[in-house]
A and B are shown apart, each in its own frame.
Chain A
Amino acid sequence: DAGVTQSPTHLIKTRGQQVTLRCSPKSGHDTVSWYQQALGQGPQFIFQYYEEEERQRGNFPDRFSGHQFPNYSSELNVNALLLGDSALYLCASSLQGGNTEAFFGQGTRLTVV
């Protein structure tokens, strides 16, 4: 049983560019959350998708957007990249309803130069 998978694992982009990160949830999970983890900090919640809709959103600008597909996989898009967007982006999957554990993918390390 594959766990949460994310792609790519590493990425280097230039300021002003756009980036798309991808996540496949753990088998049987229907909810995907995205987190940003800056160096030396804990992960910060970006948003959560369930039934192909954004259900909750953290304190992130509109440059951060997402999508969930019918197969529950998800994308995170960031437009107009800033140097401060350099971070580890983590995807977590869980099952809506009940008190199930959230499982994290290994993350995508984004560097903006």
Chain B
Amino acid sequence: RKEVEQDPGPFNVPEGATVAFNCTYSNSASQSFFWYRQDCRKEPKLLMSVYSSGNEDGRFTAQLNRASQYISLLIRDSKLSDSATYLCVVTRTGSARQLTFGSGTQLTVLP
């Protein structure tokens, strides 16, 4: 079983739609949690960190449930520019600089 699992998609949604991505992690010692965004043939870039209290950045909301070992990302009012692959990322206690990535969920926002 992979340490970080995501639905690979693809998700094809119309502009303005709300879309949610889910991610589960298997290592209960996981310490920090992130969502990264990767455009086609580009490097991953940090979208947002994820906290147990939940956090919001504009149209993006991330949530962490440590008991269920579950992470989510909600995108509201989707834009064409949101089309990308979204990567769920965790780090382990004592290995703060070692990122463990899921396989990514591909999103295409359609006009």
CA distance A12 to B95 in the complex (A): 33
CA distance A50 to B96 in the complex (A): 13
* B32 & A43 in contact (Cβ 8 Å cutoff): no
CA distance A96 to B103 in the complex (A): 26
Q: How far is the CB of B27 from chain A (nearest CB, A)?
A: 14
* A41 & B103 in contact (Cβ 8 Å cutoff): yes
Q: Which of B44-73 contact A (CB under 8 A)?
A: 44-46
Given A50-B97, A106-B43, 7 additional A-B pairs, CB 8 A: A33-B98, A41-B103, A42-B101, A43-B99, A90-B44, A99-B96, A102-B46
Top-6 shortest CB links A-B? A42-B101, A104-B43, A42-B103, A43-B101, A106-B43, A45-B98
Hey, which bits of chain B sit against chain A, CB under 8 A?
4, 8, 32, 42-46, 87, 95-104
Hey, which bits of chain A sit against chain B, CB under 8 A?
31, 33, 35, 40-45, 48, 50, 55-56, 58, 90, 92, 94, 96, 99, 101-102, 104-107
